[in-house]
Structure 1
Amino acid sequence: MKKAIGLLLVMMLSLSMAACGGKNTKNTNANPDTGNKTSVTEKKEDPKAPVVEEDKPLFDKPVEITMMTDSHPSWPFQDDWYVVKAIKEHTNAVLKVDAIGGSSFSEKFNITMASGDLPDLMWLTKNQAQKYGAEGAFANVLDHLDNMPNFKKWYESDTDYALNFADAEGKLYGLPVIGMGETNTRGYLYREDIFKKHNLQVPTNEVEFYDVLKELKKEYPNSYPFAFRAGINQFLMMAPQWGTNAEPAYLPDPSKNEWAYGAVSDEFKEMTVYFNKLYKEGLIPTDFLTLSTGAWENIMTTSEGFIAVDYLVRIDSLNSPMREQNPDFTIAYMAPPKMGTNGQAMFPFSAVMDRMVVVSNNDNTENALKYADWMFSDEAKELLSWGEEGKTYTVENGERKWIDVVDMADIRRNYGLSTNLLYANFDYNAHMATFTPELFEATVESTKYNLPETPAIAFLDEEKDVQSLRATAIKDHRDEQFSRFIVGDRPLSEWDAYVKEIYDLGLEEHLAMYQKAYQRRLDSQK
């Protein structure tokens, strides 16, 4: 970003906060040169624009809408939240929310489904929605589009994304939750203060990356310059930079229904050889497979680690407390380097969601569908993301400022906004307004490097079991052998044997099933 923006300082964003979102919407770029905050998903609307007031509420008289959702322990549901009252005022909907905390939700959900006495709306994963929707429990919203003008408008503008939530027969048992997933955005982070101290340049390719790690190791012999946690998962997120992919299957050319498996490619081998070299030279932690979050944070904050792949919110969660001891301490965002022969400066789009607002088939379905459709209206997006001027935020110098809010957790705790089942189409600007300028700019900048998402594939019931078993066997073998290659437990001379082992586990059949399922999806759009 070229202009500093006055923002609220974020004191601490925990990992649990980062993980609270689910899947995201589209990964379009924001405009970094406007001088105003811009969402990573859309252009910023006029911050002074009021909530659209309609001539009358959604319902002519009070209508009870029953709901069931899991409740986050950091912001447990409150009946007297601002958002519950605001919804009643704007719609005449009286919400009766059964919010279940912790692991109890799964048990309560199973009991509820077995009873057949379902609430009007539920907050479920797409797999849950598809399983019970096919049994008749939930409405296929595509059958009701003509009575859902707001949702229909969104669906027709982004059908490809919406179909990621559809089942193998093209039925959509709920409304996808969109806009919140950016909370989970990940990317490259680096110790900008250390780089400046030693006059180091941010690397742009694998040679520069290796050279800067070696220089850091020279300056800090006891360090692991490239430090990351979460075991093999972070390694695999780097695959697109080498021109390959680590998903169960992917489309090298989105215009063709030809699926591939990246972990047997020459590019994947090139990446493996490279990381084996980093491991042997002590440039990555020897315990990377088991490194805990706490241990990783200690490495990154004590000059023992200088580059990482992690959640972007770490920028604020690490900078804010560390600057109390060291004002120069700076974790900053770094663009992904192009790696290897066919490298690309791309990073997997990690801010994904799989949650849906599911409408039950019961005697209140018509009202529930009407309310769910309202959640996709411009009025609801504004109200359920920001609240109302003078009540939840003020406008100062053309920018919205939250009232009594330090970080995004306060938005939820204080007002109930952006909590489960109390939004569907979210304006992520509302959360970005709590970011420091550094995190805000990093979030916007990272969108330039988002790898296009691989279409989600839905399998028929008769395909699911065999596909799941085969995919699990392939994944487990890949992860085990990839780890062994990196740490030297298996010589790289056995790469061809490893590839054959993957094929022997049924890779060709695995890819053929993806192709068949994706063709069904394409045919459903004709």
Structure 2
Amino acid sequence: MFRTSRRAAILAAGALMLTLVACDTGPDESEAEDLSGNRTGAMADYKLGDQFKATEALSFSMLYNNHPSYALKDDWLFWSELSKRTNVKLENVAVPLSDYEQKRSLLIGAGDAPFIIPKTYHPQEDAFVSSGAILPVSDYVDLMPNFKDKVAKWNLKPEIDSLRQQDGKYYLLPGLHERPWQDYSIAVRTDVLQQLNLQVPKTWDDVYTMLKAMKAANPSTYPFSDRWSKPTPGGNLINIVTASFGAFGGWNYQHAKFNEGTKKFEYNGASDTYKQSVEYLHKLVSEGLLDPESFIQSDDQARQKLANGKSFVISSNAQTLVNDYRADLAKTLPTAKLAKIPLPVGPAGEINPASRTENGIMISKKARESKNFVAMMQFIDWLWYSDAGQEFAKWGVEGTTFTKDGSGKRSLASDVNVVGLNPSGTKHLQKDFGFYNGVFAYGGNPELVNGFFSAEEQEIQKVMGARKPVAPQPPAPFTDEEREQATLWETALKDHVTQMTLKFILGQRPLSEWNAYVAELKAKNSQQYIDLKNKAYERFKKANS
């Protein structure tokens, strides 16, 4: 799918190509391309653990997701130190966070995408595969010893296999975690719990009981008023509730869900587990426990309600707890106490729904023709996947932004703050230096991932770490023709699921009409979609049995 002629060859020899996936070497080593003309600036013998440094000054274009909390600055230490260590300068095509996905699609579609395209969440890459606009990166991971080492050492083959397309290749270099890390949950006013003589909730049923008690004590309030609903209504809340019920929703909506009992895919938005999660959220809204504006209001509006004591519960992660909520409350309700709690347990049991892979990097097909292509892949391998590169991206420069003790434990420099770890620090690791930037700093071993966690967050991660990880969905890649057809169905299906989910939750459509809603999905080809998915699953399984 990299070239038209190659696509034809793949279709002609599909079974042979898929069989390669089962081999020890896999498709990653199935084609020995001639890269002799693409090695300018590359290290001749780059291997695991090496500091990458280009043999001449190089620059690579990159799509940059510009986060409003730490807006891009050209004079960040990150850029100058990166050039010093690697002899590489990144030419950023900066796009605001709110427009990133749309702009990325437009640039790729027009053939104007930068070489490096990070912050891509699987399966977003699927839309760009059949056109040949992005590279099958699995063909080139032999250039990336750190990436290959972590996949092997951390037993990430199932996660990597779940990324594979019909040709047996994958087109996204994902962020890699040694262990799953569930960051998003809800934050609760623990001082209010204490006043009401309530325990910290452990299950979603406990959350319901807690909200009922809060409502009874404060009848004029909605105890739970949420954020993160733009651009995806209920983005986090629907995500974490559906995950706890055994489905996909919100930010993580997926059309197909694998049923371990039947060993077949089913349409997620019509499944019993999705229905149960919708029923739960409807109950919260109908009883005045969850603010109906949660699904349309801005983050600032949600934060103001919490800060003004008009709500007591809100979606949270480790950073927003400290940077947003506690900072807000300190100004308005200084005696208030707020804590993030472990993800409440639902009918799916004590699971950790976080994936060990996360957003990753696509590579523009234009990059393959560059004389510096090999050097670029070595650079990506070092910055995103080596231990040294991951430490640099997160912590910065030893002696300037952080220190190490005799045992190797890292600590922020005394004048540097991030996520409230050094409140008296006059400099901010993200805003003033450019480190701990979501474009670069993610993944790694638990010591690195947990490095900025407070003691309370460490305890939360202990709880989550003891839970059973959710298995990745099995591979069921479409052919080019199937993908084209599925894409036509997916937009209409997702729009309908999103609209009707909100109507059911808000009571604008009675839940007694659920069967009618399922019929509407079938009229929009949900069953044909699932039939296609199961056909792809059986084909891939047969080719690799």
TM-score by length of 1: 0.73
Q: What is the Cα deviation at residue 258 of structure 1?
A: 1.0
Deviates more, 1:475-484 or 1:442-451: 442-451
Within 2, Cα distance between the matches of 1:162 and 1:55?
22
Q: 1:462 aligns with which of 478, 481, 488?
A: 481
Q: What is the Cα deviation at residue 523 of structure 1?
A: 5.8
- Count the aligned residue pairs: 469
Match of 1:162 in 2: 160
Within 2, Cα distance between the matches of 1:308 and 1:70?
29
**Aligned pairs (5 A) from 1:43-192:** 58-59=52-53, 61-70=55-64, 72=66, 74=68, 75=70, 81-91=76-86, 93-102=87-96, 121-123=116-118, 125=120, 139-156=135-152, 157-173=155-171, 175-178=173-176, 185-192=183-190
Within 2, Cα distance between the matches of 1:221 and 1:521?
56
Q: Answer yes or no: is the 8 Å Cα contact 1:252–1:260 preserved in 2.
A: yes
Task: Return closer, same or farther for 1:137/1:413 CA change in 2, 3 Å cut-off.
Answer: same
Q: Answer yes or no: is the 8 Å Cα contact 1:64–1:94 preserved in 2.
A: yes
Q: 1:349 aligns with which of 337, 350, 354?
A: 354
Q: Answer yes or no: is the 8 Å Cα contact 1:315–1:439 preserved in 2.
A: no
Match of 1:296 in 2: 302
Q: What is the Cα deviation at residue 54 of structure 1?
A: 11
Three-state SS of the structure 2 residue aligned to 1:313 is helix
Match of 2:216 in 1: 218
**Aligned pairs (5 A) from 1:203-352:** 203-205=201-203, 207-229=205-227, 230=229, 231-233=233-235, 234-235=237-238, 237-246=240-249, 247-253=254-260, 257-316=263-322, 317-339=324-346, 342-346=347-351, 348-349=353-354
Task: Return closer, same or farther for 1:364/1:356 CA change in 2, 3 Å cut-off.
Answer: same
Q: Answer yes or no: is the 8 Å Cα contact 2:404–2:410 preserved in 1.
A: yes
* Residue 386 (structure 2) pairs with residue 368 (structure 1): no
The structure whose RCO (Cα within 8 Å, separation 6+) is larger is: 1
Within 2, Cα distance between the matches of 1:461 and 1:286?
41
Within 1, Cα distance between the matches of 2:206 and 2:387?
47
Structure 2: runs of 5+ lacking an equivalent: 1-46, 420-426
Q: What is the Cα deviation at residue 281 of structure 1?
A: 2.4
Q: What is the Cα deviation at residue 508 of structure 1?
A: 2.0
Q: What is the Cα deviation at residue 293 of structure 1?
A: 1.9
Q: What is the Cα deviation at residue 200 of structure 1?
A: 1.0
Task: Return closer, same or farther for 1:134/1:284 CA change in 2, 3 Å cut-off.
Answer: closer
Three-state SS of the structure 2 residue aligned to 1:151 is helix
* Residue 511 (structure 2) pairs with residue 492 (structure 1): yes
Q: Answer yes or no: is the 8 Å Cα contact 2:180–2:465 preserved in 1.
A: no
Three-state SS of the structure 2 residue aligned to 1:296 is helix
What amino acid maps onto 1:333 in structure 2?
A: K
Q: What is the Cα deviation at residue 280 of structure 1?
A: 3.0
Q: 2:429 aligns with which of 383, 393, 411?
A: 411
Task: Return closer, same or farther for 1:113/1:421 CA change in 2, 3 Å cut-off.
Answer: farther
Three-state SS of the structure 2 residue aligned to 1:300 is helix
Q: What is the Cα deviation at residue 127 of structure 1?
A: 7.0
Q: What is the Cα deviation at residue 327 of structure 1?
A: 4.1
Q: 2:386 aligns with which of 360, 369, 377?
A: 377
Task: Return closer, same or farther for 1:328/1:432 CA change in 2, 3 Å cut-off.
Answer: farther
Q: Answer yes or no: is the 8 Å Cα contact 2:174–2:357 preserved in 1.
A: no
Q: Answer yes or no: is the 8 Å Cα contact 1:226–1:306 preserved in 2.
A: yes
Within 1, Cα distance between the matches of 2:247 and 2:110?
44
Q: Answer yes or no: is the 8 Å Cα contact 1:187–1:347 preserved in 2.
A: no
Within 2, Cα distance between the matches of 1:262 and 1:174?
24
* Residue 447 (structure 2) pairs with residue 438 (structure 1): no
Q: Answer yes or no: is the 8 Å Cα contact 1:299–1:305 preserved in 2.
A: yes
What amino acid maps onto 1:289 in structure 2?
A: F
Q: What is the Cα deviation at residue 361 of structure 1?
A: 1.0
Task: Return closer, same or farther for 1:236/1:432 CA change in 2, 3 Å cut-off.
Answer: closer
Q: Answer yes or no: is the 8 Å Cα contact 1:241–1:343 preserved in 2.
A: yes
Match of 2:424 in 1: none
Q: What is the Cα deviation at residue 196 of structure 1?
A: 0.8
What amino acid maps onto 2:386 in structure 1?
A: S
Within 2, Cα distance between the matches of 1:273 and 1:410?
43
Q: Answer yes or no: is the 8 Å Cα contact 1:457–1:517 preserved in 2.
A: yes
Task: Return closer, same or farther for 1:357/1:442 CA change in 2, 3 Å cut-off.
Answer: same
Q: What is the Cα deviation at residue 186 of structure 1?
A: 1.3
Q: What is the Cα deviation at residue 425 of structure 1?
A: 5.7
Q: What is the Cα deviation at residue 221 of structure 1?
A: 0.9
Note the alpha carbon deviations across 1:316-339, whole angstroms, 9 max, x for none: 121234135544322212334444
Match of 2:410 in 1: 400
Three-state SS of the structure 1 residue aligned to 2:430 is helix
What amino acid maps onto 2:151 in structure 1?
A: Y
What amino acid maps onto 2:342 in structure 1?
A: A
Within 2, Cα distance between the matches of 1:58 and 1:209?
50
Task: Return closer, same or farther for 1:147/1:297 CA change in 2, 3 Å cut-off.
Answer: closer
What amino acid maps onto 1:372 in structure 2?
A: I
Q: What is the Cα deviation at residue 251 of structure 1?
A: 1.5
Q: What is the Cα deviation at residue 306 of structure 1?
A: 2.7
Within 1, Cα distance between the matches of 2:256 and 2:292?
30
Q: What is the Cα deviation at residue 114 of structure 1?
A: 5.7
Deviates more, 1:374-383 or 1:127-136: 127-136
Structure 1: runs of 5+ lacking an equivalent: 1-52
Match of 2:200 in 1: 202
Within 1, Cα distance between the matches of 2:116 and 2:183?
28
Task: Return closer, same or farther for 1:482/1:114 CA change in 2, 3 Å cut-off.
Answer: closer
Three-state SS of the structure 2 residue aligned to 1:297 is helix
Q: Answer yes or no: is the 8 Å Cα contact 1:57–1:89 preserved in 2.
A: no
Task: Return closer, same or farther for 1:423/1:180 CA change in 2, 3 Å cut-off.
Answer: farther
Note the alpha carbon deviations across 1:268-290, whole angstroms, 9 max, x for none: 44444444443332222243432
Q: Answer yes or no: is the 8 Å Cα contact 2:111–2:133 preserved in 1.
A: no
Q: Answer yes or no: is the 8 Å Cα contact 1:185–1:350 preserved in 2.
A: no
Alignment RMSD: 4.2
Deviates more, 1:366-375 or 1:265-274: 265-274
What amino acid maps onto 1:502 in structure 2?
A: L
Q: What is the Cα deviation at residue 294 of structure 1?
A: 2.3
Within 2, Cα distance between the matches of 1:205 and 1:373?
41
TM-score by length of 2: 0.71
Task: Return closer, same or farther for 1:70/1:513 CA change in 2, 3 Å cut-off.
Answer: same
Three-state SS of the structure 1 residue aligned to 2:417 is coil
Within 2, Cα distance between the matches of 1:267 and 1:108?
33
Task: Return closer, same or farther for 1:264/1:147 CA change in 2, 3 Å cut-off.
Answer: closer
Three-state SS of the structure 2 residue aligned to 1:70 is strand
Match of 1:22 in 2: none
